[in-house]
């Protein structure tokens, strides 16, 4: 996709990757650094045209459309270039083909810019792959969470992935995505398998920061937890997401009295203060495994991102201090 120019008109040919996208969304993606109000203004004034005609910002683009984009001056943030280059070595590719890219996201990185983060994984990938016409996140991971992150390289693949994540692993005739996480919690979890169905409600703190809590008026949320290992003061679980609500695993566990080790939003804050001295300097939540039909040919795609070495080492530290009474020896 051509870059917006500050000196000449761009004629953008719409391909499969942009088919069905709203005009305003295309422009906002291309016009980084241009005020949103200005983007809408140039559409209303007729400076942006599709196939030579004026259209509304809500127009759905079709394959073969030609979009006229006038010259615009964009703001360039040099620090983002540095950040993008720095991220390159930290984004190991788990799987890639013509329609799909899967990376192993490190903890501490936002998946996209915004909400106080100027730069994220998707911006870094676009900077590192300027030849790629289309790179879009298929789902989200919290900044503090590591592991499997899927990116669509074609719009048709992206839309198929979105549908799979909506279906999830609920069963039925439609095949969805099976997502599994590894998570370490404070406390002794006793059930080998526990199905948790607790509705979740988003709300804002007085500071404006987003939070989630269990509430009857919230949206349905379903997580299946399996016990992998247990010590005197910690338990290692596998969390299978049946739905994909914001902070679902974190809030379900905190509500049940088993906060995630190192969780700064919903965790045991007093206990968290001692964990860095013991070797855990992040939240212990990792997107571990995923199985889904490939969006292009339907074959079963099984993905896995090994537990990061820092988390593995912390489990070994626990094992040297505490007796393990469940699961394979760590």
Single out the residue of 104, 102, 86 nearest to residue 307, CA to CA.
104
User: What's the CA gap between 240 and 249, in Å, rounded?
Assistant: 9
297 among known catalytic residues:
no
User: What's the CA gap between 263 and 187, in Å, rounded?
Assistant: 14
- SS3 of 203-269: EECCCCCEEEEECCCCECCEEEEEEEEECCCEEEEEEEECCCCCCHHHHHHHHCCCCECCCCCCCCH
- Based on DSSP, count helices (H) and strands (E) in the chain, helices before strands: 8, 15
Structure tokens at 125: 């990938």
For residues 254, 260, 262, 267, the Cα torsion angle rounded to the nearest 10 degrees is 10
**Tokens 């700064």 — which residue?**
264
**Tokens 């761009």 — which residue?**
10
Check 83, 142, 263, 268 and give the catalytic one. 142
∠ CA 118-120-126, rounded to 5°: 110
User: What's the CA gap between 43 and 23, in Å, rounded?
Assistant: 9
Catalytic site positions: 142
């Amino acid at each position: 996709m051509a870059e917006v120019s500050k000196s000449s008109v761009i004629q953008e040919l719409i391909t499969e990757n942009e088919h069905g996208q709203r005009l305003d969304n295309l422009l906002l993606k291309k016009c980084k650094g241009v005020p949103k109000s200005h983007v809408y203004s140039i559409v209303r004034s007729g400076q942006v045209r599709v196939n030579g005609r004026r259209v509304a910002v809500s127009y759905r683009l079709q394959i073969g459309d030609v979009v006229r984009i006038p010259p615009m001056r964009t703001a360039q943030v040099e620090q983002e270039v540095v950040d993008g280059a720095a991220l390159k070595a930290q984004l190991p590719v788990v799987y890639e083909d013509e329609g799909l890219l899967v990376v192993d996201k490190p903890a501490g990185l936002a998946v996209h810019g915004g909400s106080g983060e100027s730069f994220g994984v998707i911006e870094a990938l676009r900077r590192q792959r300027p030849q790629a016409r289309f790179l879009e996140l298929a789902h989200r991971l919290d900044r503090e969470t590591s592991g499997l992150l899927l990116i669509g390289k074609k719009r048709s693949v992206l839309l198929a992935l979105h549908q799979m994540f909506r279906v999830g692993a609920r069963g039925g005739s439609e095949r969805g995505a099976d997502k599994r996480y590894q998570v370490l919690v404070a406390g002794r979890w006793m059930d080998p398998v526990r199905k948790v169905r607790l509705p979740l409600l988003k709300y804002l703190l007085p500071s404006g920061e987003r939070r989630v809590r269990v509430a009857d008026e919230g949206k349905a949320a379903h997580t299946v937890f399996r016990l992998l290992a247990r010590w005197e003061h910690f338990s290692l679980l596998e969390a299978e997401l049946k739905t994909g609500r914001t902070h679902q695993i974190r809030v379900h566990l905190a509500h049940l009295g088993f906060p995630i080790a190192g969780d700064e939003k919903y965790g045991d804050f007093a206990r968290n203060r001692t964990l860095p001295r013991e070797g855990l300097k992040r939240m212990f939540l990792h997107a571990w495994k995923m199985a889904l039909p490939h969006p292009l040919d339907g074959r079963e795609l099984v993905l896995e991102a090994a537990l990061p070495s820092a988390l593995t080492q912390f489990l070994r530290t626990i094992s040297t201090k505490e007796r393990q009474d469940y699961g394979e020896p760590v």
